[in-house]
Structures are given as C-alpha cells and as structure tokens.
Structure 1
Amino acid sequence: MTDDAAWPALPVESWTPTRDTLHMWTQIVGKIRMALAAPVNHWWHVTLRVDARGLATGGIPVGSRLLELAFDFVDHVLLVRTSDGGLVTVPVPGLSVARFYAEVFDAVRLLGVEVAIHPSPNEVEVAIPFADDTVHATYVPEQANAFWRQLIQADRVLQRFRSGFGGKVSPVHFFWGAMDLAVTRFSGRTAPPHPGGAPNCPDSVMREGYSHELSSAGFWPGGGSEGAFYSYAYPAPDGYAEADLPDGATFSAEFGEFLLPYEVVRTSPDPDATVLAFLGATYDAAARRGDWSPDLLIRPHHARSER
C-alpha cells in the first residue's frame, strides 16, 4: 500500500465543480501562451508544465522579455511575471471564470503585454464564453492541491517512460483542452488525416495533432472513480484492443483507449511499477501490431555505462 500523501485519493465526483472551474482557468492561461508563443508541431507550444508549485506556461517571449503565468497550488494564487521583475499576484479562491478572465488580462496589461485570445473554451460540449461564465466558480484549495500532487506522480513516472524512447517523442506536458498530462511517441511515418469531431474544436486542430503515427499515454482526471492513466494509438492497428494487459487495466470501447484506474495504481504495492507495466504493455501493442522499428527503444539512462 502506498503513501496517500504521495498518491492522494481524490474521487472525481468529490471535486467535479473545482475540476471544471480549474479546467476553464487553464484554458485561459494556455490560450495566452498559444497566442504569443512560436508554433511547434502537434500544438506542443500551447501546453502547460508541472512544476514545484503547480502548473506553469514557462517563459513566453514578448519582445525582448519573457512572460510567465504560473498556478501556485500551495499558496493558491496565479503568478503573472516578466523577466524584467514585473509581478502581479492573483488570488484564485472565490473567483468565477468570468472574474478570473478579467483579472488575468488586467494583470497581463499591467505588465505591458497586449494579447488577444479566442474567448471561449475548446473540447467541451458546452462552451460558455469566458467573460460570461459565472457558472464555474468553485475552487476548493485542498482539492486543487491534491490534483497537483497526482500530476506530480504522473509526471515523474511518465518522464521515466519517455526516457526509454530514441525516436521523436513529445515532452511530458499538460494539454488544457482535455485537461490531461500526456507524452507521445511517434513511429516516424505519416498518418491518415484525422476525422476530427472534438466538441467546439476545429477539425484542423486534430489533423495537425495527429498528422503522424503515434502512441500516446498520460493521466486524466476522468475515466475512473479517481481518474485514470490512459494509452491509445493513432491509427490503431488491427488487433490493438486485444493486447495483453497488467491486472486492473482494460480497453475502453467508449473512449477507444486503454485505461488503468488511478485507484488501482494508488493502492498497489508498487505504484511506479504498476504504471510502467501498463505503459510498456500498451506501447508494445501499438509498436508490434503497427510494425514500428524495434530500434526506436533504447536502454534506460540509468542502465548506461558512465562516459
């Protein structure tokens, strides 16, 4: 049984109002990064990263300066700062999405940065414009902190998994569209055009994201009673869903992906090994059945001899 402080229990139904509010907030912050950062393939320039206090954009070039927006889930503020010493702190408890949106743009303008974003969320069925959204106004600090601690563990294990691949591979990063932490490996071949269909999201976005054959995995606060680790391939090769899986993992026909419930990981004797077994088995299903080159796998860094 693992330490609950490291792998906290957080039933999805217990924090859905906070989750949905935070989802909209991360979209606002992520869209600012998207509007200002240089484009990178597969939309890698729009993502947030897990850091030692929460989720952050990292440095975004604005002229000769850098702008960064960072959620601090310890002190429960959004930090908006620039490389020339500018700093505006936005306390987040008690804010609706509409108020958060206004305060973030006030802060950015106060620091001398002008930016415009598409002012409605993506990849959600009901897309309330940010400026009008007073529906989502719940933020329970303890729940946001627990989610961030889940992300820390997921990020740490996904980084280990990422290190075993020698081909093109994404960073481990947080996509605010679906609110998931993800890492993606690529075979090196192009893929058939993606059909699109994500709610309130142009099909062109999905075609760019899935332009090449991939096996993607990550963590998402859904898909299980406490969230789930997931893995899928695009395009999915024949027989993919029949892969051999470790105990507790299944293939979801509803989502078209493999799922490993977070609660299975949290209560296992070795959570890291449980997740890595899942990631390895599901990547193997994509790679073997999709005829990926075995040379794309490399020995773990810790197993290499010293230089």
Structure 2
Amino acid sequence: MVAPHPRTTGSRLGATWPSLRVADWTGTRDTLHMWTQIVGKLRLSHAPLLNHWWQVTLYVTPRGLTTGAVPFDGGAFDAEFDFVDHRLRLRSSDGAAREVGLTPKPVATFHAETTRALDALGIGVTAQQRPNEVEPSIPFAEDEQHASYDGAAAQLFWQQLLQAQRVMERFRAHFTGKVSPVHFFWGAMDLACTRFSGRAAPPHPGGAPHCGDWVMAEGYSRELSSCGFWPGGGEEGAFYSYAYPEPEGFAGRAPGPEGAYYSVENGQFLLPYEAVRTAPDPDRALTEFLHATYAAAADLGGWDRARLEDDPRRWDGRGDAPSR
C-alpha cells in the first residue's frame, strides 16, 4: 500500500468523492497522461475502427484503467493500469503475461520497458509513437521531461474517475438512442459519455495540436451532446458538457447546480469537481448538471427527445429480467 499523500484527503481505497488538488499532482498527471497515450495506442494499432474513435478508448476498472480485450493474432490481449498495486499488467489470451512497475521514471523509460514487455508477448505497435493533442509533442522514446509518479495521487485520480463513472452510467441509462460508453479518452485525458441526435453535423474545423483535422472530423461527424470529467478546469478538476454544433442560445441556459457556469474560453459548461464533492448530495448535484446541460442542447437543437429517451426503471417490479 502506498502511503497517503500529505496534501490530499480521502485516500482510503473506495472513499467517496475524494479530494485531489490539481496543483498537488500536476507532474504526476502529466506523466500519467503520456503513459496512457502509450498504452492507448495499442488499441489504435490493433482494434478495428469504430465510429468516433470509440475503439481507442480506455475503461475504468475496480483497480484502474484498462484497454479491455483487444483482438490480436487469432486471440486477444489487454493492458491494465493497476493503481492499487501500481503495475501495468499486460496479458495475452495464450496465457502469457508481463508487468511494468508504476514508479517515478521518465516517459522514455516507461516506453522502453513497455515495448520490451510487448515484444516478449509478440505484440507490435504500428501507431505513431508520440503524443497527440498536447504541445509540445515529445516522442515517447525521447521524453525525459515527464518523470513523476505519486502513487497516492494516482489512486485518488482513479477514485475520482470511479465516482464520475458511477453517476454518468446512471445518466447514460436514460438515453435509448445512439450513445457512447462511459470511456476514457487518452488524447485529452478525460472520461466522457456522448449522446447523439441521429443527424449529421457540419464538418468539424479541427485544430487540436498534433492531431489531424480528419481525426476531429470523424469524432464530430454527428450532432451530439457530450459530458465528462477531466483533471483540469477547477481546483480539483471539472465536469464539462458541450454540444456540437452548439445551438443558438445554448450558453445562456441555466446549467443546473450552484457553481456551474458557461466558459466562453472553453466553449462548454463547467462544474468544478470541488463544487460536487462539497455539495450536500454530490450525486444529486452532478446528476442535475448532466441533465440540465443535455436538455439545453436537445431542446435548443430540436432533438426528438420522446424517441430518444426512456426511464431506465421502466421494468422495475416485473420480476426477474431475462438472462439474454
């Protein structure tokens, strides 16, 4: 067990809505961001394209973040960041496995160790070995700049993700139209869930650093309302919600609970994580934000809400659900 970080609270595993000040773990955050890009590019190399790049994301687990099963050579493999034991675990369906320790080390060292572990498993990587959506974009094999790893802070970030996912999954359940999983995008280092109206969207102009405009064109090819959490935008991170294309009047709509506001700079609604954590009922505060900002996008955008939404408890009291 890693000793609690002296500048954080709520470090007990499983703690509800832990506090983690961004300023106290920026070095670890930025290093971990690069590590997740290295592992995320395994999915980019081997998983077939899904709409909006859903095949490249990571997923929150009871111990950290995982690629999930990635098809490979007649079988599959996976990779999981274990923030309890602080290991990157690589496993193949042929029974082979390797590990890389999560300790303070440069990105270049982590990249070399991970590459050796993958080579031992016979897994190659074809994706470009430098980060996307960041500036500067230092090739992983040359990055000696990012070398921090505070294990207690990494645990707290994972616990933030656990709490965010739990509420976002309930929010997702109200939508019966096309909706993404609750998944972690390693490009921007955010946990996201996206709903779609079913209509095409105008071409996205792109502009993300070290990321082709065609990448954004695929990601935003359909009209959407997206929400999520990322470790920025507030003292302890922030929840966000935006629409693409943004309908007229969107920024003027009430965003829900106290502390939420529309950020002109970011082009989206923000709700500081600390405003949720310190609310009398954090789950209720975040739920209100998610529903209010989605309603603004859907109502002003003319979505067919009656067709796209339903009560996830609609079969409660009807006995056991079918197994299939």
TM-score (norm 2): 0.92
Q: CA deviation at 1:238?
A: 0.2
- Partners of 2:63 and 2:82 within 8 A in 1: yes
Please name the residue that 1:88 is paired with.
98
- Structure 2: distance between partners of 1:249 and 1:76: 34
Q: What letter corresponds to residue 53 of structure 1 in structure 2?
A: R
1:13 to 16, 19, 23: 23
Please name the residue that 1:73 is paired with.
83
Q: Give matches, 1:164-243, under 5 Å.
A: 164-243=174-253
Q: CA deviation at 1:297?
A: 1.2
Q: CA deviation at 1:241?
A: 0.3
- Partners of 1:25 and 1:100 within 8 A in 2: yes
- Structure 2: distance between partners of 1:204 and 1:108: 29
Deviations 1:190-225 (A, max 9, x none): 000000001111000000000000000000100101
Q: Give matches, 1:144-163, under 5 Å.
A: 144-163=154-173
Secondary structure at the residue paired with 1:301? coil
Q: What letter corresponds to residue 198 of structure 1 in structure 2?
A: A
- Partners of 2:203 and 2:220 within 8 A in 1: yes
- Partners of 1:108 and 1:114 within 8 A in 2: yes
Q: What letter corresponds to residue 95 of structure 1 in structure 2?
A: K
Q: What letter corresponds to residue 294 of structure 1 in structure 2?
A: R
Q: CA deviation at 1:95?
A: 2.0
Please name the residue that 1:299 is paired with.
311
2:293 to 279, 282, 286: 282
Which range moved further: 116-125 or 45-54?
116-125
Q: CA deviation at 1:304?
A: 3.9
Which range moved further: 41-50 or 112-121?
112-121
2:115 to 99, 102, 105: 105
Please name the residue that 1:132 is paired with.
142
- Partners of 1:222 and 1:228 within 8 A in 2: yes
Identity of aligned residues (%): 58
TM-score (norm 1): 0.97
Please name the residue that 2:52 is paired with.
42
Q: CA deviation at 1:305?
A: 4.4
Please name the residue that 2:281 is paired with.
270
Please name the residue that 2:4 is paired with.
none
- Partners of 2:90 and 2:99 within 8 A in 1: yes
Deviations 1:159-218 (A, max 9, x none): 000000010000000000000000000000000000000111100000000000000000
Q: What letter corresponds to residue 158 of structure 1 in structure 2?
A: M
- Structure 1: distance between partners of 2:167 and 2:181: 13
- Partners of 2:47 and 2:71 within 8 A in 1: yes
- Structure 1: distance between partners of 2:204 and 2:295: 22
Please name the residue that 1:142 is paired with.
152
| Distance 1:18-1:279 versus aligned 2 partners, 3 A rule | same
Q: What letter corresponds to residue 150 of structure 2 in structure 1?
A: V
* Uncovered stretches (5+) of structure 1, i.e. residues with no partner: none
Q: What letter corresponds to residue 300 of structure 1 in structure 2?
A: P
Q: CA deviation at 1:74?
A: 0.4
- Structure 1: distance between partners of 2:313 and 2:119: 44
Please name the residue that 1:116 is paired with.
126
- Structure 2: distance between partners of 1:256 and 1:115: 35
- Structure 2: distance between partners of 1:46 and 1:187: 23
Q: CA deviation at 1:303?
A: 6.3
Secondary structure at the residue paired with 2:20? coil
| Distance 1:302-1:141 versus aligned 2 partners, 3 A rule | farther
